[in-house]
Chain A
């Protein structure tokens, strides 16, 4: 059984507290408190150590927060030039792996959207041609294949004198063949082991160039045949 005095004492205490609280001017009390001094005495680091930031972030409604942000106003206040000045674009590009990006690019779609005609109109073809070494390009043409596999051969055949040039080519070729035949026999009769020079010195350089061109053309054709 409880002491009958205890409830009375409790009611008295509650009543006393009510009277004190009612009589207390909280605003005046707060005004007398030096909040800055209080804040300075708080060890924020110690408090933050005890805060589980992840839990706070989980409870944070980021979307709602962003909805309340006036992005345009933010951007207006942003000095983009200053930002770009501070940005090391080269370092940024060094860290970017372009291959995956390029893999995701649909080149065909990109080209479909490009106005190639407009691009070509802006190209100075004369300047491009000036930079091209035409002689080198011509030197890389396989004349044999060109003549054999295009109508150019027929054009040459019709425009090169026909029977006359054919007869002349044949006569010259036969004569040169006989020259070589006789020369071989003379060399044997004279028992020469070392053949003489084929051509005058000035002609040997030209011969080398012509022979190289012929051999290169021959190799190109052989390579094509091998691939086929």
Chain B
């Protein structure tokens, strides 16, 4: 396959149903970010409480209050992100977007509903995520309930132009030789 054909593939994949690896990596990033922000919030709360009351507060992970706060925070983190823009920070990094099952922009209430039922996929021993692998449209349990789907939505055309630009710049610097192919596949 020629360089240009791969570049064309890269563009043509935009809008396709996203696969498991990309979605998993996006979730890992989101988990790290949301957990980090939650921990930061707890630390800030402890600091303020200590300054105001003079007593130090220690948070125990097994504490039910902390668990409930984390659940609420996660719901808001994911729910607001999906409702507002159809993507969380991790999904933005990996170039994913949640859309309606027919491909239209996700309704805000579907974003919150998706966030609400998201834990169900864990509660059924992770089987809720199996749909990403085996379902024809790569839709997990939360997608089937909320009527949503996840697609590749990074600007593959801009990425293709960036690749060609880098290629051109390398060509200017190193002479006529060029890299053999574009990076990877689509977006």
Q: Interface residues, chain A, CB within 8 Å of chain B?
A: 143-144, 147-149, 152-157, 160, 165-166, 168-180, 182-183, 186, 190, 196-204, 206-207, 210-211, 213-215, 217-218, 221
Contact = CB atoms under 8 A, between A and B. Distances in A.
Contacts of B138: 183
Given A170-B183, A176-B187, A207-B15, A160 B4 contact: no
B8 A169 contact: no
Given A166-B162, A206-B15, A147 B133 contact: no
A143 B99 CA distance: 29
23 contacts: A157-B168, A160-B158, A160-B165, A169-B163, A169-B183, A172-B159, A173-B10, A173-B185, A175-B21, A175-B25, A176-B186, A180-B19, A182-B19, A190-B134, A198-B17, A200-B102, A202-B102, A203-B99, A203-B151, A207-B15, A210-B157, A211-B12, A218-B8
Contacts of B164: 144, 147-148, 153
Tell which of A176, A182, A186, A203 has the most Cβ of chain B within 10 Å. Answer: A176
Contacts of A178: 19, 21-22
A176 B152 contact: yes
B154 interface: yes
Interface in B63-115: 93-95, 99-104
A217 B2 CA distance: 14
B34 interface: no
A200 B102 CA distance: 5
Contact of A176 (B22, B101, B102): B22
Interface of B: 4-5, 7-8, 10-22, 25, 93-95, 99-104, 133-134, 136-138, 149, 151-152, 154, 157-159, 161-169, 171-172, 182-187
Contacts of A175: 21-22, 25, 94
List of 7 A-B pairs having minimum Cβ-Cβ separation, nearest first = A173-B184, A179-B19, A196-B136, A202-B103, A200-B103, A203-B15, A153-B168
Contacts, number: 159
Nearest to A169: B159
A213 B5 CA distance: 12
Given A176-B22, A182-B21, 12 more contacts: A152-B165, A156-B162, A168-B93, A172-B95, A174-B183, A174-B184, A176-B152, A179-B22, A183-B19, A203-B103, A207-B12, A211-B11
Nearest to A158: B169
A143 to B, nearest CB: 7
Contacts of B94: 171-172, 175
B3 to A, nearest CB: 10
Contacts of B159: 165, 169, 172-173
Contact of A186 (B99, B134, B162, B172): B134
B13 A166 contact: no
Contacts of A203: 15-16, 99, 103, 151
Given A153-B165, A182-B21, A198-B16, A218 B5 contact: yes
B18 A179 contact: yes
Given A182-B21, A199-B103, A172 B168 contact: no
A75 to B, nearest CB: 70
